[in-house]
A and B are shown apart, each in its own frame.
Chain A
Amino acid sequence: DSGVTQTPKHLITATGQRVTLRCSPRSGDLSVYWYQQSLDQGLQFLIQYYNGEERAKGNILERFSAQQFPDLHSELNLSSLELGDSALYFCASSKTWGNTEAFFGQGTRLTVV
């Protein structure tokens, strides 16, 4: 158990809908990262937050947004969902940012039908 908690584990929704994925980081970790993993792709970086502030942004679609709350949990919002958004979404956390190891949650499997 990495200590990073993601909910829900599975999500099935229809095209055009909006969903929210939740992540609770390990105790004491200030940085949260979101990654997307599709079948044929590796782990694609979406966005990083550090102590409530956006720290780095990857190839995150405009339909996607995220935030980190004062209690350090984070939410990833996905809207106007398309079939191609079906993937595993992982959250990871680390103590700071940069060269410290990141620990991953078990992921949310999103299926868009």
Chain B
Amino acid sequence: EDQVTQSPEALRLQEGESSSLNCSYTVSGLRGLFWYRQDPGKGPEFLFTLYSAGEEKEKERLKATLTKKESFLHITAPKPEDSATYLCAVCGNSGNTPLVFGKGTRLSVIA
């Protein structure tokens, strides 16, 4: 069964204080790993797709990386508007669930 574990559960940063969020996964044949941002009461917003180990994607202050067992979402010089829950999801070759989500990391950036 595909599984995704995200850490930490919650992270509080000062504005400008860079950090990384972790997503560990077990999957039978990775078809894709996805990062989403979710604001309270809203739908998840797609950020990145990573397909193979060594791949990196960047968008503004966010950079996602992928290894064979985990993915990191690096946040450089965060701003208060980056505060949200960041979700990681995987899609594997086997299993019945097209996208398996982790429980997310709740990020708070304080001015």
Contacts and interface: CB of A to CB of B under 8 A. Distances in A.
Interface of A: 2, 4, 31, 33, 35, 41-43, 45, 48, 55-58, 88, 90, 92, 97-107, 109
Given A98-B31, A99-B32, A104 B98 contact: no
Contacts of A41: 103
Interface residues of B, number: 24
B21 interface: no
A94 B101 CA distance: 16
A100 to B, nearest CB: 8
Interface of B: 31-32, 34, 36, 41-46, 49, 51, 87, 89, 91, 96-104
B46 A90 contact: no
Contacts of A45: 97-101
A106 B100 contact: no
A56 B89 CA distance: 16
B43 A105 contact: yes
Nearest to B36: A104
Given A56-B97, A99-B51, A42 B41 contact: no
Given A2-B46, A33-B99, A42-B104, 9 more contacts: A41-B103, A42-B87, A45-B97, A97-B98, A101-B49, A102-B46, A104-B44, A105-B43, A109-B41
B45 A43 contact: no
A98 B98 contact: yes
A88 B41 contact: yes
Contacts of B51: 99
A43 B43 contact: no
Contact of A106 (B43, B49, B97, B98): B43
